């Protein structure tokens, strides 16, 4: 069994931390500054907040790539949306087929480095 832990980001700002690997027999290996914390992004608005297949939705905020350089996936209420245009402050998507009934769910942005942002109950 191997357990990996990264340094603590007390202030919440972008910083680096050590990665420490501890094996089941107690041996350790440390990579100094092996992990980079990213500033947290925020989704400030989703417009419109409801729609159907084909609806264009604008997601606004700051740091929407969540430490990455692009978006790899976006879901609206658990349905994958097509990314039409994206930058770190505005993303435009088109709602895809898959909604069978009105349901409220999260807006989730996944970056190209697998970090993510969530707007709880942001779309229905």
Gap between the Cα atoms of 51 and 68, Å rounded: 28
Gap between the Cα atoms of 124 and 76, Å rounded: 8
Least confidently predicted of 55-64, 81-90, 110-119: 110-119
**Segment (H or E) for 33:** strand 28-37
Tens digit of each residue's pLDDT (9 = 90 or more) over 42-80: 999 999 999 888 999 999 999 999 888 999 999 999 999
Taking residues 15-35, what's their average pLDDT? 82
Gap between the Cα atoms of 38 and 32, Å rounded: 17
pLDDT value of position 19: 81
Instruction: Give the predicted TM-score (pTM) of the model.
Output: 0.77
């Amino acid at each position: 069994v191997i357990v990996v832990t990264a340094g603590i980001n007390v202030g919440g700002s972008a910083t680096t931390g050590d990665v420490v690997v501890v094996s089941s027999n107690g041996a350790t290996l440390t990579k100094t500054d092996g992990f980079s914390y990213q500033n947290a992004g925020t989704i400030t608005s989703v417009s419109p907040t409801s729609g159907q297949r084909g609806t264009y939705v604008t997601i606004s905020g700051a740091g929407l790539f969540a430490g990455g350089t692009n978006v790899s996936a976006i879901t609206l209420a658990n349905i994958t949306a097509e990314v039409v245009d994206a930058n770190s402050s505005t993303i435009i998507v088109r709602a895809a087929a898959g909604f069978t009934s009105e349901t409220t769910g999260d807006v989730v942005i996944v970056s190209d480095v697998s970090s993510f942002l969530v707007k709880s109950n942001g779309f229905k």
